[in-house]
Amino acid sequence: MGWIAWDDVKALKHPYYWVNILMSLSYPICKLIPPVCEVVFEGDCSFEGRETEILFFMLIIVMARARKTGSMSMIAYLTNSFMYCKVANSFLWFFFFKPYGLFYMFLFLRKCARSFKI
């Protein structure tokens, strides 16, 4: 049995995963796509030192949590990664411009409330 099961791949068609992927990659995508970067970041299209530190810290946390948990399916690994990526993105958006950070946190908390049926 491999790490990626066919049922896991079929489950990725659910909008839950697409919204989480979009939210998890929102800051890097906006920072690296020049037309979007020109509008949102006013031309500052490269990662600064603090942003790089936060992204690497998030990567280390995701890897450490995956090792600590042991054998995980692809879906469990992605779900775990989404949470940490969204927390890191909320910090990045908040450090860049507080209203963007608050808006992102609102979306993040709204998504969490729907996921846990709060």
Q: What is the 3-state secondary structure (H, E, C) of 43-107?
A: CCCCCCHHHHHHHHHHHHHHHHHHHHHCCCCHHHHHHHHHHHHHHHHHHHHHHHCHHHHHHHHHH
d(C-alpha 51, C-alpha 41), whole Å:
13
d(C-alpha 65, C-alpha 47), whole Å:
25
Query: Domain spans of the chain?
Result: 13-115
Which residues, given as ranges, of the chain have pLDDT below 70? 1-3, 71, 113-118
- What is the structure's pLDDT at 1? 46
pTM for the full model? 0.82
- What is the structure's pLDDT at 108? 83
